[in-house]
Amino acid sequence: MSDLHEALRENVRSLGESLGRTISGQRGDGFLDRLEQIRKLAKNARGADDAARDSLLQVLHNLSDDEVLPVARAFTQFLNLANIAEEHHRVRRRLEITDVCTPDSLCSLFARLHQRGFDAKTVASTLSEMQVDLVLTAHPTEVNRRTLIQKYDGVADCLRGLDQGESSEQRLNELISQIWHTDEIRQQRPTPVEEAKWGFAVIENSLWKAIPEFLKRLDAQLDETLGERLPLEASPVRFASWMGGDRDGNPNVTAKVTEEVLLLSRWMAADLYFRDVDALRSELSMVKANDELRRRIGVDCAEPYREMLGQVRSRLANTKAWIHAKLKGDPLPDTPVYHCSEELLEPLMLCHKSLTDCGMGIIAKGALEDIIRRIACFGTSLVKLDIRQSSDRHAQVFEELSQFYGLGSYNGWSEEGRQNFLLKELQSRRPLFPRNWDPSAEVQEVLDTCKVVAQAERNNLGSYVISMASQPSDVLAVILLLRDMGIGHNMRVVPLFETLDDLDNARDCIAALLDVDWYKQYTEGHQEVMIGYSDSSKDAGQLAAAWGQFKAQEGLTALCKERGVHLTLFHGRGGTVGRGGGPSHTAILAQPPGSVDRSLRVTEQGEMIRFKFGIPEIAVRNLELYAGAVLEATLDPSPGPEETWRQQMEHMAQQGLASYRDVVRHDSQFVPYFRAATPEQELAKLPLGSRPAKRRQDGGVESLRAIPWIFAWTQIRLMLPAWLGSDTALGEAVKGGQAPLLRTMYKDWPFFRSYVNMLEMVLAKSDPRIAAYYDQQLVSEELGVLGSSLRGRLQKTVDLVNEIKQQDELLVDHPIIRQSIDVRNPYIDPLHFLQAELLNRDRTQPDQRLEQALMVTMAGISAGMRNTG
C-alpha cells in the first residue's frame, strides 16, 4: 500500500510540474515563482504562522487586475489535476484487490447472508428481482465544461498508460497545455438537450464498459460463493434520468425538449448496440449452429451467426434512420425498427443458445454476453426518462378549466371536492377538454408535455414526479391529464414530499390515496414515493430533516405493508450532507427496517455522476456497493431504534428545528449577512446548469434553490446548512448528561451513526478562519456580530462530535480523507482569499475581468472541496 501512496505522490508531482512548465512557457519564470511563493505561504499559514498568512494576504492584495485571473486559473487547474491523480490512485487500489474477497465485497456479503440462515436460492432470487434505479439528474453542480472533462479523461488515460510502461509523457504534456489554454468557464449556460447529451456521454465513455463487467463479476461471485447464477436477462441496477424531463422551475425544459431527449436517448442506444453487433459479427465466423437458429434465419448459409447478426445490424440501422427522420420532422421510413428490449434480445439469445448447444460456450460468454447484459440494464432507451413538474402547474390546468365550464374555482374547492371531481372525470367516457377552449400558455405547455409522455414508448419512461405534493388530488390530477392525452399504460405517478410538514403528512396522504378503490387498482400493487432531502434540510435544518425523513419512511413502509402494496422509495439525495449526501451504501443500510424491499430509486447529480461513474473501474465498485447494500437491507436489515433512542432523537430534532429557524427565518440580520458574506448573488452569473438559481427572481432565501444555498456556504467554508441546529440539539443533550446515551446510539443505531459520520465529514471541510476572512473583507461591523456567533457555534459542533466519538480531532478513523483535505488546503486557501478580494473589488467597481476571475475561483474551490451543492 505504501508503494501505491508513493505512486500517488509521484503522479501529483509530475502533473504539477507539467502544468508549471506550461504556465512558465506562457507567462515566464517570474510568474511561476510568484505562484510557488503563494503556495508556500499558504502551506506555512496552515501551520498557524501568522506572519506567513499576513504575507500571503499582502501578495494577493497586490495582484493587479490582469494577474488575478491567471493566478486563480493556476490553482484551480492544479486542484483538478490532483483530483485526476487521486481518482487514478483509487483505480490502482481497486485493481490490486480485484480477485480478493475483502470484507466489503459482494462475495463476503453472500457468505455472511448464508451464515445467517438465508439459503443460496433466496439470495440469488432476491438479487435477480432487485430493481435499483440510479437517476441521473442535471442539477447544476458540475462546474467543469464538457470539453475540459474530456481532456481530464485523456490525462487519466495517460496515467494508466504510464503504469503499463507506455510512453505517454508527450501526450500528457500536450493535454495539460490544452487544458491551460482552454477557458474553464462556459460562455453560456448549457441547454437541457446539452445536459442530456452529457449524461449520455458518461454512459458511452464509462458505464457501457462497466455494466457487463459488474454483472459478470456479480455472477461469478454468486457462483463461487453460493453455487447460483445471475440470469443473463437480470440487471439489479439500471439507469433513469431527469435530464430533459425535470421542468420544475425550469422554463427551458419544454414539451419539445422532452420529445427530443426521448428520441436522442433511443438513437444513442441504437448506435451503441449497432457498433457492438457490427464488431461481434466480424468475430462470429463459426459454421456450426443448432436447428432453432437455422430455422430462425430462414435461409441456408455457411456462416449462420453472421447472417443472424447482419439482420440485427440492419434493423438497428433502420431504427437509427427512423429516429433521425422523426427528429428532423421528415416522413418516417416504412422499415422494421426496434421498439423494445425483447425484440433486440430474442435473436441474440438464439445465438447464445446455439453456441452453447454446439459446444462453443466459451465464445458465447465473450462479447455476445456483454451485449446481452447491456440490454438487461439499458434496454433500447439507454435510460428511462422521468418527468417532474410542480403540483401547482397541474392545479392551474383545472383552475382554468373549471372557470371555463362555469364550475367555480378548482383552487377554492375543498380537497374532498377536488377528489370527487377528478375521480368522476377519470371514470367518464367523454373527453375532458372542450374543442373551443383557449388555455393560457403555461397551461398549454403542461398539456403538451402530457401529450408527449402519452405518445412515448412505455419502455422509454420512468416515473412522473410531482414536486410540492401534499394531497391525493395532486396525484389524481396528473393521472387524469395523462389519461385524457391517451396514455396506454398506468404510468407511475410519484408524489415528492419535500418540506418537513409534507414529510410529516406523507403517510396520511398516501393512506388517503390508497383508500380510493379506483386509485389502488390503478397502482397494480406498487406505490412509489419520493423523499426530498434538499428542500427539507433547507426548510428545517439537517437534524430535523433527517429525522423527519426517517419517520416518513417508517410510516409509509408500515402503511403499504398493511395495505398489501409494494413500496418503492425514491431518495432525492445530492452530493453534499446538506442535500442527503454521503457514502451511498451506509445511507442505504441506515434506512428504517423494511423500507428497502428489493427496490430503490436514488438521484445521482452533478459532479457526483462523474466522480462515481466517470471511470469504468470506479463505476463497477460503486455499482457493487449499491447492489450489496440493497440486498443486505432487503434480507437482513438492521433493527429499528429502541424507544429511548427514538425519544432522544425526537427531542433533539425539535430543539434543532427551533434553533435553525430562529436564525434562518427569524433573525432579521441573517439574509443581509448571507448575501454580504457569501458569493450568493454572484453565483447566478456562473453558467452552471440550464435552470435559474431561483424559483422566483424576486424572492428571498426561501425561493433560493437548495443547490446554490449550499454552494454559497461551501464557498466560504462555513458549511452552515449541514450543522446549524445540530449544535444546539447535541449541546443540550450533552449538557443534560445524555452523552453516554448518544454514544450508545452511535455504536448501535446505523441511522444515528450515519448522521454523525456525515456531520463529521463536512465539519472537517469547514474552516472558521477562512469564513472570518470573508467577513473581514465583505461584511459590515453590525452584521459581523452574527458571523462571529455562527463561527463560534461551528467550533462548538466540532467539539461535540469529537466528544460523542471520544476522539481528539475529526476523522481520526478516516486518515485517507483527512490527508486528502490537508493536501488540498494550501491550494484552496489562496483561492478563498482571492475570491474575497475579488468580491470586494467587484462589488465596488464591477469589471468583466474580475468577474471571470471570480467565477474561476468558484470553480477551483468546488474542485478542491470535491462536492459543491
At 481, which amino acid appears?
L
* Annotated active-site residue in 139, 151, 451, 765: 139
Distances from the Cα of 686 to the Cαs of 133, 187, 197, 508, 679, in angstroms? 31, 9, 20, 41, 11
User: Known catalytic residue: 151?
Assistant: no
Q: Are 490 and 535 in contact (CB under 8 A)?
A: no
Q: Which of 188, 172, 168 is nearest to 180 (CA)?
A: 172
Could you identify the residue written with the cell 510540474? 17
What is the rounded distance in angstroms from the CA atom of residue 758 to the CA atom of residue 328? 48
Q: Is the dihedral of CA 180, 182, 187, 191 positive or negative?
A: negative
* Strand (E) or helix (H) holding 83: helix 65-96
Residue 605, sorted as left (phi over 0), alpha (psi -120 to 50) or beta, turns out to be beta
d(CA 423, CA 348): 45
Dist. CA 36–CA 42, nearest whole Å = 10
**Element at 465 (helix H, strand E):** strand 461-467
Instruction: Give, as one character, the DSSP assignment of residue 381.
Output: T
**On the CB side of 195, how many CA atoms lie within 13 Å of its CA?**
32
DSSP state string for 680-734: HHHHTTS--SSS-SBSSTT--GGGB-HHHHHHHHHHTT--HHHHTTHHHHHHHHH
Burial class from Cβ neighbours inside 10 Å (0-12, 13-18, 19+) for residue 626 reads: buried
- Alpha-carbon distance of 759 to 731, in angstroms, equals 14
Beta carbons within 8 Å of 821's beta carbon, 6+ residues apart: 764, 765, 811
- Which of these, 480, 471, 476, lies nearest to 511 by C-alpha position? 471
107 vs 385: CA distance, rounded Å: 33
Alpha-carbon torsion, ordered 15, 29, 838, 42, to 10 deg = 60
From the CB of residue 525, how many other CB atoms can be counted at a distance below 10 Å? 11
Known active-site residue 384? no
- C-beta neighbour count of 846 within 10 angstroms: 9
d(CA 12, CA 21): 14
Residue located via cell numbers 456479503: 109
CA angle 390, 146, 831 (to 5 degrees): 90
Bridge partners (DSSP) listed for residue 600:
132
- Length reported for the chain: 869
Straight-line distance from the first to the last Cα atom of the chain, in angstroms, rounded to the nearest whole number: 33
> Nearest Cα to 729, choosing from 658, 789, 794, 666?
658
Q: How far apart are CA 458 and CA 464, in angstroms?
A: 12
Of 151, 451, 538, 765, the active-site residue reads 538
Chain mean position to CA 710: 15
Q: What is the dihedral sign for C-alpha 96, 100, 103, 104?
A: positive
DSSP H helical ranges for 493-615: 500-514, 517-523, 534-540, 542-563, 584-589, 607-613
For residue 217, give the C-alpha cell. 463479476
Catalytic residues: 139, 538
